Amino acid sequence: MSESSTNEIKTSILQRAMDMFQRYGLRAMTMDDVCRELSMSKKTLYQYFTNKADLVDQAVRHVFGAHKVAMDQLSAEHENAIDRMIHRFAFLMKMMESHGPNMMFPLKKYYPKTFDWLFEQRQRTMQNALTQTIKDGQAQRLFREDLDPELVARIHFTTMVGLADGELQSESLAERREVIWTAITLFIRSISTAQGLQYFNEIKDSKR
């Protein structure tokens, strides 16, 4: 089998395994369950992954990589800093759907190394992206120049993670969306100039 075919099979396994972990619960799914759902023998599955911990780790890394690509595309597509920040809201909601209670709680408890890796990568990626967005917004005169972009980004990231991974996990997706949107609205208002506020007020309802 060629290397490209092997990679395609492995990618398919990772995507489908992550779907199962999200649907049925990370802890509940065994390697036997994965094999059954994939119509694959255990021998074949173990050719790609040494054990469940390895499968979970690679699946999490695969999904994070896809999310990072999406975030990079988002930044490239939206020059206006406020537009970019609002579209990041939709991106965050997508991440919350894929990293829901069926994933994050058991990931932290049973696969702490993978959880720590994910948290570190998520923190670095989101804070760097937000820092750059704030700097761009300052250059566009949409955000206040007296703010420290890195400090503000760190505070906002901590707030968002606290909301996404905390008590909101037990709420419905609609309720989580409302809370996150309110938090982002308050954040944008707190860092915007008069010009930025005017623009945000003009477009916020259509972007929500």
In whole angstroms, give the CA distance from residue 62 to residue 13.
Answer: 11
C-alpha span between 153 and 204 (Å, rounded): 21
Long-range contacts of 37-40 (CB under 8 A, 24+ apart): 38/13, 40/13
Tens digit of pLDDT for each residue in 27-59?
999 999 999 999 999 999 999 999 999 999 999
Query: What gap in Å lies between CA 199 and CA 187, rounded to an integer?
Result: 15
Fold of 51-207: Tetracycline Repressor; domain 2 (1.10.357)
Rounded to whole angstroms, how far apart are CA atoms 114 and 111? Answer: 6
Backbone dihedral region for residue 171 (phi beyond 0: left; psi -120 to 50: alpha; all else: beta): beta
Q: pTM value?
A: 0.83
- Where exactly are the structural domains of the chain? 51-207
Per the CB < 8 A criterion, the answer to whether 143 and 134 are in contact is yes
Mean pLDDT of 173-186: 85
